[in-house]
Amino acid sequence: MTGLKRVFIVALALLMVVTSVFAQGTKEDASAGKQIELTVLNYIDMSEPNSANEISMVWDKFAAENPDIKLVREDLFNEPFHQKTEAYVASGKVPDVLYMWPSGRSTSLHTTKSVKDLMPFLQKDGMVDDYNPATLAPQFAGFLGELPNGLTTTHMLYVNTKVLRENGLSIPKSYAEMKAMVGPLKAKGIDLIAMDNMDAWVMQSCLFSMVVGRFGGTDWHDKVAAGTLKFTDPWFVKSLELIDDMYKSGMLNRNSLSSPYGSSRGSFAAGKAAFYIDGDWSTASFQTDITTGKALVSPASQQNDFELMVIPNLPGEVISNSNSGVVGTGWGMSANIPAGSAKEAAAWRLIKYLQGEYVQTYRLSTGASFPSNLNVDVEKVVKEKNLEPFIAKRAAYYAAYTTITPVIDGVLHSDVYNVINTGLQEIGLGSKAPSQVASEVQKAWETWKKNQ
């Protein structure tokens, strides 16, 4: 018994010595500054073309060029990404460098000031003029929480002109013309519009925000905030009624409510629908994967059989051909990193690289984003690198639709936009009337306002 006790005590003492030695060792490594470790939360859809390639083209390249920095990267996508981010914010342990939105799902990163203002870093390095000024505007909490990739338009109407041609139809010039296509296409078993509405944000972000802008004008949010517009007023009710009409007339299939995000791109490319609604970012999913050489839509077909546009004129709209847009996603830096530390310098070096000329040119070539960095000459890159037709068509699309209205989840609080998201699905199910949803949104807005 005593012998056993002795063995136990010696083992315990040894364990303590060993653990303390290792703890000390880590401290020494850090202070010696051999390699600075940065935790990174990356947003990547591994099922998209060129995703695997991004690892070697972007991340491995940085690692090779910066041997003094060790990146511990976490790759996530869609809901798991946002939930993990919220958990990080709640625990106060935000990764050193992380992908984020200027508002919307990253709201809490901004409001809790979990990330640093990047404007002083840009100013210190004299880099303010390197970026499109519109992308450097203060974000949700009034500071530059993330350095954006570019500007994003959240509505894009992808048109399969081959399907239209084969059915004796042409690109519609008005909503009414588009609606009239439902019958002839349905007779052939083709849907008019493919859209994935199971995730509640898709309808709000990729269609409804644009519609609200058409009926409410570019400054609807300012007017709502000032109390001169209400969600129960005609501009908003009409917007909801339009969505209701799209479902009732068969322009939008109610089955889209059971379609997970991204799942109908293949069906659209295969000609099962004449139109597809998503954000501009989805052009990347149709392009060729460099590694496998495969594409949902081949470059030749992109040139001849597809067009990128916005929904044509709506009856009763106050502005035409407008689109909904927001400053793009980008990279932020954790506020936990001590100011002036070597770690802060390393994190800023990474962010500068990720939004620098090389990475933004690469992202342009894969269609992932259009650059915010003015050193990237889009036209030149398209010509020199012989990029796929969707890139050039996307540039033309940005030039054609210059009136940009707010994206709902970019300007409203989640207590309000979640009610809109669910209300749009209720309209899709046919279980709530547009006026009822409008009242609920107004009530949510008033409650939120009261609590501020």
CA distance 275 to 303: 16
Residue among 19, 24, 56, 258 that touches other proteins (CB under 8 A) = 258
- Under the binding rule (CB under 8 A), the answer on residue 415 touching other proteins is yes
Tell which residue, 224, 389, 368, has the closest CA to residue 299: 389
Residue among 74, 79, 166, 222 that touches other proteins (CB under 8 A) = 79
Integer CA distances (angstroms), 386 to 220, 297, 381, in order: 41, 17, 8
Contacts with other proteins by CB under 8 A: the residue count is: 40
- Under the binding rule (CB under 8 A), the answer on residue 45 touching other proteins is no
CA distance 175 to 436: 24
Residue number, 114 or 283, with CB nearest to other proteins: 114
Residue number, 6 or 254, with CB nearest to other proteins: 254
Tell me the three-class secondary structure of 241-271, residue by residue: HHHHHHHHCCCECHHHHHCCCCCCHHHHHCC
Contact segment (CB under 8 A) with other proteins among 83-91, 229-237, 307-315, 367-375 equals: 83-91
Tell which residue, 150, 97, 180, has the closest CA to residue 284: 150
Q: Write b or e for each residue in 41-78: b if 16 or more Cβ atoms lie within 10 A of its Cβ, otherwise e.
A: bbbbbeebbbbeebeebbbeebeeebeebebeeebbee
Of 235-254, binders to other proteins (CB under 8 A) are: 253-254
CA 174 and chain centroid, separation: 28
String marking each residue 96-125 x if it binds other proteins according to CB under 8 A: ---------x-xx--xx-------------
Shortest Å distance, C-beta 100 to other proteins: 15
Tell which residue, 409, 331, 325, has the closest CA to residue 363: 331
- Under the binding rule (CB under 8 A), the answer on residue 426 touching other proteins is yes
- Residues 325, 113, 363, 256: is their CA dihedral positive or negative? negative
* Pairing state between β 323-327 and 404-405: parallel
- Under the binding rule (CB under 8 A), the answer on residue 66 touching other proteins is no
- Under the binding rule (CB under 8 A), the answer on residue 46 touching other proteins is no
Shortest Å distance, C-beta 260 to other proteins: 7
Shortest Å distance, C-beta 92 to other proteins: 5
Residue number, 35 or 267, with CB nearest to other proteins: 267
Contact segment (CB under 8 A) with other proteins among 32-40, 77-85, 155-163, 322-330 equals: 77-85
Residue number, 199 or 357, with CB nearest to other proteins: 199
Residue 240 in contact with residue 427, Cβ under 8 Å?
yes
Of 269-328, binders to other proteins (CB under 8 A) are: 272
Contact segment (CB under 8 A) with other proteins among 76-84, 124-132, 206-214, 349-357 equals: 76-84
Rounded to 10°, the helix 414-429/434-450 angle is: 170
Contact segment (CB under 8 A) with other proteins among 7-15, 56-64, 195-203, 311-319 equals: 195-203
Residue among 46, 87, 128, 400 that touches other proteins (CB under 8 A) = 87
- Under the binding rule (CB under 8 A), the answer on residue 177 touching other proteins is no
- Residues 381, 386, 391, 396: is their CA dihedral positive or negative? positive
CA distance 28 to 307: 59
CA distance 324 to 402: 10
Shortest Å distance, C-beta 227 to other proteins: 22
Residue number, 61 or 84, with CB nearest to other proteins: 84
- Judged by the rule CB under 8 A, the positions of this chain that interact with other proteins are 79, 82-83, 86-87, 89-90, 92, 105, 107-108, 111-112, 197-200, 253-260, 263-264, 267, 272, 413-415, 417-418, 422, 425-426, 428-429, 431
